[in-house]
Amino acid sequence: MFKGNALVIGASGGIGKTLVKQLIESGCYENVYGVSRTFPEGPVKGVNYHTLDSENETLVSEYCQQLKDSGIQFTLVVCCIGALQTIGPNNLKVKPEKRLEDIQSQQLNYYFTVNSILPALWLKHVEALLKGAQPSTLVFFSARVASIEDNQLGGWYGYRASKAALNMLIKCAQIECQRRAKNICLVSYHPGTVATNLSQPFQSNVPEGKLFTADFTVTQLLRIIPSLSPENGPHYIDWQGRDIPW
Ligand SMILES: NC(=O)c1ccc[n+]([C@@H]2O[C@H](COP(=O)([O-])OP(=O)(O)OC[C@H]3O[C@@H](n4cnc5c(N)ncnc54)[C@H](OP(=O)(O)O)[C@@H]3O)[C@@H](O)[C@H]2O)c1
């Protein structure tokens, strides 16, 4: 049976770490690669880890070129990079805006850098590692709050807008892939609210039973992927596999 290779970008995060673990345990992949800014705590045995700063495009390009030169092709690539509330460069406090007065250019820049631009650069460089005869899936962790149609609450300007921009990048890429890499299926995934560092400051507001483990959302994603195809992509879906309005 054909076994492809899988790559997880952001393999150090709460969801990324769990994803590489489940990919290894599934036995469905020949090799599992994990790339991240920092080396993961509690690395998973058998994963080919690499650390690099995704904000340096040259490093992203060189890493992908090395994989290509080694003849590595992927059938699954998942990008888990994202930021919601964090400390950015030069001690920049990044916190979701509650009102217009909270909007700041440096913070907006950081949201767009991490949630839209870094995934876009990875998209640009991994495409060559996915195209070919085998059906291949490229998943980006987005969020339901990126849905323009579904936005009833407002707030979180930078996070919502930067993930909505990611969704648009995914949409454009699927159209281009339909011309030049018909085997690639693009997915924008909402994992639900998952108990990781990213959601930690907001977990007290989550209704009972709605705070998922990383294991749960990753299991759901891996279960849903085989049902998706490039012909009706890109898919903007949640952890139940249900479509989210763009
Ligand atoms: N958790 C949730 O409830 C939830 C809900 C909806 C969507 N999501 C999305 O799911 C994805 C994974 O989130 P998570 O919950 O696993 O969060 P997490 O534990 O905070 O992981 C975030 C990942 O993004 C990486 N990252 C952050 N800033 C970066 C930068 N400047 N350059 C390179 N890498 C950077 C982190 O790398 P380092 O480890 O090196 O910092 C880490 O690998 C994110 O895209 C998030 O927006 C999560």
132-164 residue pLDDT tens: 999 999 999 999 999 999 999 999 999 999 999
- At residue 2, the pLDDT reads 84
Nearest CA among 137, 130, 93, 133 for reference residue 111: 93
Main-chain phi, psi angles of 50, to 5 degrees: -145, 135
H or E stretch including 144?
none
Q: Which residue has the tokens 């639900």?
A: 192
Bridge partners for 140 per DSSP: 79, 188
Confidence of residue 67 (pLDDT cuts 50, 70, 90): very high
**Inter-residue contact 203 to 195 (CB < 8 Å):** yes
Q: Which residue has the tokens 């290779």?
A: 5
Q: What is the average pLDDT across 162-190?
A: 98
- Tell how far the Cα of 115 is from the centroid of ligand 1, in angstroms: 9
Closest Cα to atom 44 of ligand 1:
82
Q: Would you state the torsion angle of the CA atoms of residues 200, 198, 104, 119, taken in this order, to the nearest 10 degrees? A: -170
Distance CA 243, CA 116 (A): 21
Which token pair is 143?
A: 């969020």
Higher pLDDT: 2 or 38? It is: 38
Atom of ligand 1 nearest to the CA of 113: 31
pTM here?
0.98
What are 10-59's pLDDT values in tens digits? 999 999 999 999 999 999 999 999 999 999 999 999 999 999 999 999 99
- Tell how far the Cα of 36 is from the centroid of ligand 1, in angstroms: 10
**With 80 as the cut, is the pLDDT of residue 1 above it?**
no
Q: Is 141 in the pocket of ligand 1 (CB under 6 A)?
A: yes
**With 80 as the cut, is the pLDDT of residue 126 above it?**
yes
What are 78-124's pLDDT values in tens digits? 999 999 999 999 999 999 999 999 999 999 999 999 999 999 999 99
Distance CA 198, CA 69 (A): 35
- At residue 221, the pLDDT reads 98
Is it true that the peptide bond before 40 is cis, omega within 30 degrees of 0? no
Distance CA 64, CA 72 (A): 9
Ligand 1 pocket test, pick from 81, 159, 239 with the greatest ligand atom count within 8 Å of Cβ, gives 81
Distance CA 246, CA 240 (A): 16
**Inter-residue contact 134 to 125 (CB < 8 Å):** no
User: How large a percentage of the chain has pLDDT more than 70?
Assistant: 100
- 4-238 placed in CATH 3.30.43.10: no
Q: Would you state the torsion angle of the CA atoms of residues 149, 235, 138, 132, taken in this order, to the nearest 10 degrees? A: -140
**With 80 as the cut, is the pLDDT of residue 65 above it?**
yes
52-57, Cβ contacts within 8 angstroms, sequence gap of 24 or more: 54/9, 54/81, 54/118, 54/121, 54/122, 55/113, 55/118, 57/121
Closest Cα to atom 45 of ligand 1:
82
- At residue 228, the pLDDT reads 98
> Mean pLDDT score of the chain, rounded to an integer?
97
Q: Is 80 in the pocket of ligand 1 (CB under 6 A)?
A: yes
Ligand 1 pocket test, pick from 8, 15, 221 with the greatest ligand atom count within 8 Å of Cβ, gives 15
- Tell how far the Cα of 1 is from the centroid of ligand 1, in angstroms: 33
**Inter-residue contact 190 to 144 (CB < 8 Å):** yes
- Identity (one letter) of the amino acid at 179? R
Confidence of residue 204 (pLDDT cuts 50, 70, 90): very high
Confidence of residue 182 (pLDDT cuts 50, 70, 90): very high
Nearest CA among 89, 79, 66, 163 for reference residue 121: 79
Q: What is the average pLDDT across 2-10?
A: 95
Closest Cα to atom 35 of ligand 1:
81
